[in-house]
Amino acid sequence: MRAALFTDTDTPVDIVDVDLQSPEANEVRIRITAAGVCHSELHLIRGEWEAPVPLVPGHEGSGIVTEVGPGVAHLHEGDHVVLSWNPYCGECRECVAGRETRCHKVASVINATGTLLDGTSRLSIDGTPIHHYLGVSSWAEEVVVPATGAIRVRDDAPLDAIALVGCAAATGVGAVVNTARVTPGSTVAVIGCGGVGLNIVQGARMQGAERIIAVDLSPDRAELARTFGATDAVGSAVAAEAIRELEPHGVDFAFDAIGHVTTTEAAINSLGLGGAAVIVGLPPAGATASFEPLALAEMDARILGSNYGSIRPQYDIPKLVDLYMTGELLLDELITARRPLDEVAQAVTDLASGAQLRQLLIP
């Protein structure tokens, strides 16, 4: 099959021929119909995150099951699926407790070694193994993934648009609903209006927030957030100050959808009494932010980390697809380009420059 290959920061991502092995036990093979282009790949390509290389990037996507491995009973050939980059083991302490996004095996095997759950790869070039990325590697014509990483969804949902449920929507909406537990009537600030940030905005809208302040360096991006439910749109590089101009006493919930030190600190500094700052965007490895512990304690405020929106993939992803089909969740409005897989290098360039919001690679 054809797939994108990342080798090092000095070599552009390119399309090459890759061998894909059939699924082993508890795995499935999927023909990719659409793959999202997310900032997580940009961290990888810039060398800001470490990962075993060479690898096939891509962690957001959708497709159709073409083959099932031994032991898979809940998926069948022809099923429509959304890919999850948290293909949990179902057996560790966190999984048993219903906290699949904290799966020990995902962290220690999938992410650390660039393999599938059994510690081996299904990808190779001329017999030499190639690493998977986050157990997905969706920038390809086909993938083999753990069965827990392929979430069956309704057949009538457009397979291209719902690719975004696998990361952007699940991460953003989940951070609001599951991690922060935003309540009706709350005041919310969202710093960063990219794919994840806009899903935080619409998650806050769906939870009944009274005021939703969207802040972005780009006034146009901030203004776009109104489409998703923002009540206020601010183009500013000084997020905390901009938020406090509108809410002098601070907000109930402030979401950092970018993950820079400055935006994390801005989210914390935007809080009112009893508020919660939720870190959703992921920073470069080793980055540190500062805050005043005494002030945080006196305010009875909290700092929360949100990994994959604290979702339970098997339950939350189909629900998000249902919300899209009823018009409650906006996805088409996020997609600014559909490109053939051959244009992956240009897609990465446009992602880095901010020229596109959310792009889909169509194999």
Per residue in 320-341, pLDDT (tens digit) is 999 999 999 999 999 999 999 9
Catalytic positions are 38, 40, 43, 59, 167
pLDDT, one tens digit per residue, over 37-76 is 998 899 899 998 889 999 999 999 999 999 999 999 999 9
- Determine what percent of the chain is predicted with pLDDT higher than 70: 100
Q: Which is it for strands 271-279 and 142-146: parallel, antiparallel or unpaired?
A: unpaired
Q: How far is CA 130 from CA 45, 139, 342, 348, in A?
A: 16, 14, 19, 21
**Mean predicted lDDT score pLDDT of the chain:** 96
84, pLDDT greater than 90:
yes
> Are 32 and 363 spatial neighbours (Cβ–Cβ below 8 Å)?
yes
Every domain range in the chain assigned CATH 3.40.50.720: 172-306
pLDDT tens, residue by residue, 281-322: 988 888 899 999 999 999 999 999 999 999 999 999 999 999
How many beta carbons lie within 10 A of that of residue 259, not counting itself? 20
Ranges in the chain annotated CATH 3.90.180.10: 2-166+331-362
**How much is the pLDDT for 283?**
86
Q: Residue 250 burial by CB count (10 A; 0-12/13-18/19+): exposed, middle or buried?
A: buried
What is the reported pTM? 0.96
Looking at residue 285, its pLDDT comes to 83
Query: Which superfamily does CATH assign the domain made up of 2-166+331-362 to?
Result: Medium-chain alcohol dehydrogenases, catalytic domain (3.90.180.10)
State how far the Cα of 109 lies from the Cα of 45, in Å rounded to an integer: 21
- The pLDDT assigned to 39 comes to 87
Amino acid identity at 50 = E
Alpha carbon separation from 276 to 116, 181, 252, 297, 299 (Å, rounded) = 35, 10, 6, 12, 10
Identify the CATH class of 172-306.
alpha beta
Name the one residue in this structure whose structure tokens are 């927030």: 209
